[in-house]
Amino acid sequence: MRIRPLHDRIIVKRVEAERTTASGIVIPDTAAEKPEQGEVIAVGPGRLDERGKRIAPDVKVGDRVLFGKYAGQTVKVEGEELLVMREDDIMAVITPEAGAMKKAA
């Protein structure tokens, strides 16, 4: 699939939420909320300022991001559910801690 967002729009794919709680209770699909985290699939070239100069986005493809519960517009592309949102809808970029990466290795 090839998709190219325009201006400051970003395409995000939601990541799967945990299906069990910390105490081990399994949450069924019908009761689970949609995750508010996702992976950036595509990024537009950025918005234009008052002078017509392009302002590059702060996120890049592959970033894991946090966004609001009602952020973006849900679209289906080739059977896959994606979110199209503006860069302003993204609240944070999640970066793994250096110590956590060493433990996983």
Which of 71, 69, 59 lies closest to 95 in space, CA to CA? 59
What is the Cα–Cα distance from 5 to 7, expressed in whole angstroms? 7
Residues lower than pLDDT 70 in the chain: 1, 17-22, 24, 26-35, 98-105
pLDDT at 97: 74
pLDDT in tens, 88-102: 999 999 887 765 555
Beta bridge partners of 55: 47
